């Protein structure tokens, strides 16, 4: 760096709002946001989620209303997650393959109402469908079986693609599933269906409210540390990303978000591909708890954290604050 004080005064460009705007290095817009939504049974139903203040499960007809809201706000994509009824859960998660399951009905309803005006990202994993809450099939000891699970995930992906999903997002962390899903999509004619891989998904303490939202918290037996990543590891994340890209992922995701911005930066600098992050349920709940305690202003906290994702290298962010943030940005 050349120059010295007083010839160089870095505060000069901060002196006025117009100058700060002109020199701003990172820009956040509604187009950077993906809005996660939870789907439940019924009609005209809203079910507030206690551990996620301000977030609800919505029946299919109400999900369509939310989708229209997203279009109006300039949010380009929704991420859908089902709250499967207990009687439809099973050890083998077979409801994931039902072409009339909640996820598929929600996809079709949004497509019928809005066509291609909003993107639909659909979660691929078995935890919303299994009676044991794990992301895959398990053996008698409770160990999640990799290759057998991948076979089911392929069927789940084809089921969602046939319903009209734009982006298949495998969140299960099974080895080899991206290549298997990509091959199946190609063979079935879904050549333009994208894969956004949860490539670096950590075994995190920040997922609790999400498990409430999809109804799996009380069902989960054991933990997910045999397939989700150790929070201590960075190099392993790069290996996961490299493999998923080689197998056909169009973009990759880091999850959770804010505590893993170093991973986002490493992935972006190493591979120069679209990188997304998920500001997960625990992160959202922490902001809402801070607001409720009078420890911070919601608007400022939301925009600052989302800007941090963009500054770290994210192409976009999955966030439960998407609609609120879009309203602020559209201000």
d(CA 129, CA 274): 29
Residue where the block lists tokens 């994210």? 314
Instruction: Decide if 126 contacts 149 (C-beta within 8 A).
Output: yes
From 224, 255, 268, 310, active-site residue:
255
Considering the candidates 68, 94, 201, 221, report the single residue annotated as catalytic.
201
| Strand locations in 262-320 (E) | 275-279, 316-319
Three-state DSSP class for 123? strand
The secondary element (H helix, E strand) that includes residue 279 is strand 275-279
User: Is residue 201 flagged as an active site residue?
Assistant: yes
Whole-angstrom CA distances from 206 to 130, 149, 231, 287 are 21, 25, 12, 13
* CB atoms near residue 141 (< 10 Å): 6
CB-based burial label for 3 (10 Å; 0-12, 13-18, 19+): exposed
The answer to whether residue 68 is catalytic is no
Q: What gap in Å lies between CA 275 and CA 266, rounded to an integer?
A: 10
**275-279 and 251-255 beta bridge pairing:** parallel
Measured distance CA(187)–CA(182) in Å, rounded: 9
Report yes or no: 52 and 319 within 8 Å, Cβ to Cβ: no
What are the distances in angstroms from CA 118 to CA 5, 166, 224? 51, 9, 32
Question: Between the CA of residue 54 and those of 23, 35, 38, 287, 288, what are the distances in Å?
Answer: 35, 13, 13, 12, 9
d(CA 38, CA 58): 6
Which positions are annotated as active-site residues?
201, 255
């Amino acid at each position: 760096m050349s120059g010295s004080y007083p010839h160089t005064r870095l505060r000069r460009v901060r002196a006025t709002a117009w100058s700060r705007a002109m020199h701003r290095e990172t820009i956040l817009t509604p187009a950077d946001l993906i809005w996660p939504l939870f789907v439940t049974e019924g009609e005209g139903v809203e079910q507030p989620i206690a551990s996620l203040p301000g977030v609800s499960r919505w029946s299919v007809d109400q999900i369509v209303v939310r989708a229209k809201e997203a279009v109006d706000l300039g949010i380009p994509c929704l991420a859908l997650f089902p709250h499967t009824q207990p009687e439809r859960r099973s050890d083998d998660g077979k409801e994931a393959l039902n072409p009339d399951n909640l996820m598929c009905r929600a996809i079709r309803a949004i497509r019928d109402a809005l066509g291609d005006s909003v993107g639909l990202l659909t979660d691929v994993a078995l935890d919303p469908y299994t009676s044991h809450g794990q992301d895959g099939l398990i053996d008698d000891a409770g160990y999640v079986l990799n290759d057998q699970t991948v076979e089911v995930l392929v069927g789940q992906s084809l089921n969602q693609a046939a319903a009209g999903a734009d982006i298949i997002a495998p969140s299960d962390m099974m080895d080899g599933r991206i290549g298997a899903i990509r091959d199946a999509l190609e063979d079935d004619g879904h050549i333009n269906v994208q894969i956004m891989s949860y490539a670096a998904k950590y075994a995190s303490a920040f997922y609790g409210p999400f498990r409430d939202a999809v109804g799996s918290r009380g069902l989960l037996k054991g933990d997910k540390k045999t397939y989700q990543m150790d929070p201590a590891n960075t190099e392993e994340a790069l290996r996961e990303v490299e493999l998923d890209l080689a197998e056909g992922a169009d973009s990759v995701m880091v999850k959770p978000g804010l505590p893993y911005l170093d991973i986002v930066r490493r992935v972006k600098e190493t591979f120069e591909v679209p990188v997304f992050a998920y500001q997960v349920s625990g992160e959202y709940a922490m902001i809402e708890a801070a607001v409720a305690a009078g420890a911070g202003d919601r608007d400022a906290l939301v925009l600052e954290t989302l800007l941090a994702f963009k500054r770290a290298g994210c192409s976009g962010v999955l966030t439960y604050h998407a609609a609120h943030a879009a309203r602020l940005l559209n201000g």
